[in-house]
Amino acid sequence: MELPLVVLQLATFFFLATPPSSLAQDAATPGLHPVVLVPGNTCGQLDAQLTDEYEPLTAGCGIPKQGLGWFRLWENFTALQEDPSLSCRATPISSGWSTTPSPATIGTFQANVCMEGLVKALEEVGYKEGGNLFGAPYDFRYAPAAPRLPSKVFSYFSSSFRLLVERASKMNGNKPVTIVSHSMGGLFTMVFLDRSPLAWRRRYVKHFVMLCLGVGGSPLNMWPLAFSNLSPPSLPGTVLTYGNRSFASMFSLLPSPKVYGDTPLVITRAKNYSAGDMAEYLAAVGLSEEQVALYRTRALPVTLNLRAPLVPTTSINGIGVPTVDSLVFWDGNFTGKPELVNGDGDGQINLQTVLALERLIGDDPDQPYFKSILVPNTTHKGMISDEFALKRVIGEILGAN
């Protein structure tokens, strides 16, 4: 699915720190291994520029409203509040299945609250943006495709990521790099590492610290695909829902049959849907045959074939927070709000998929080192913002040095 009449670029995702007051603060602490951060889903920022051929869907949208320059498409909830119909942005932000990459920059920092707390905490222990601390953004609408299938966006990310890691190592006395991922950034990193030569991994990756990642997806991600809108509508929810139906990334986060088996994840009076019934469920909530086929051929094989990264790895996940285990649409009305049946996890990633990650990596005889840490009463976002959790994360990063 292409994006005519609009040019997109992926903006970088971190905040730019306040200029330091002394040369001592300005310099990165010697001896630390460089760190590359890979953010979670939706932490990237998309900028758009309309071409002369663009015709707005409704009055007040498009060129008359935005002008001819670049404007923030995501995240820009202030502008979205001014236009609740979303029609000004519906076409550009959707469409995650295209194999044509959007222009992107990689390895620099820009204001974004997604990982601000983690970056500040790293700076407090001696890391310096652009010296030994780097970021690897990606277009969150896309996802890795099955091997041997075209995936230009992920290929572009992979080549840029590889060059960034090599450059970070060279800038720091050829020390190998510690990669720190959050949420979906961990999926991108795991697939990237699996498709990189083992000799390259062992040369350039000192440690992989993955935050808030399981390997089986989450039942929670079945909900946004099930409805087109809520009444009364939730603006951010509506934006994400419209996009999620076309974002390849959303399909990569659906529950895996390998983890959940025949466990009912969506329950109705007439029929229950397990992870093995996912294609049938997607059709039942209104996705097209083409979208269901893309799930089967591009997203599902990646989920089923995730492998241990074969570099020293630490997994840190939150527990003790109510987390969706299943959805109940008892009357079969998928456009309504379901009853949520909760279990344990971090509010987004449930404990079952975390334990599956432990088995996947920990049981691989070729995995050189693996440690799994469960942080009590920590949410998905809190892992990179709560003081207690950040101390634990920073401790593991420094321990990898």
- In tens, the pLDDT along 7-22 reads 444 444 333 333 333 3
User: What's the pLDDT score for residue 16?
Assistant: 30
Higher per-residue pLDDT: 14 or 380: 380
Q: Is the pLDDT of residue 44 over 80?
A: no
Look at residues 299, 320, 311, 317 and name the one whose alpha carbon lies nearest to residue 368.
Answer: 311
Nearest to 254 by CA among 105, 143, 346: 143
Say which CATH topology domain 35-45+100-220+296-400 has.
Answer: Rossmann fold (3.40.50)
> How confident is the model over 187-216, as pLDDT tens digits?
999 999 999 999 999 999 999 999 999 999
Average pLDDT over residues 299-309: 95
Burial 9-28 (b: 16+ CB within 10 A, else e): bbbbbbbebeeeeeeeeeeb
Q: What is the pLDDT of residue 35?
A: 96
DSSP E strands in 158-275: the ranges are 177-182, 205-211, 266-267, 272-273
pLDDT tens digits along 258-288: 999 999 999 999 999 999 999 999 999 988 8
Question: What's the whole-model pTM score?
Answer: 0.81
Write down the domain spans for the chain: 35-45+100-220+296-400
Residues carrying an active site annotation: 183, 346, 380
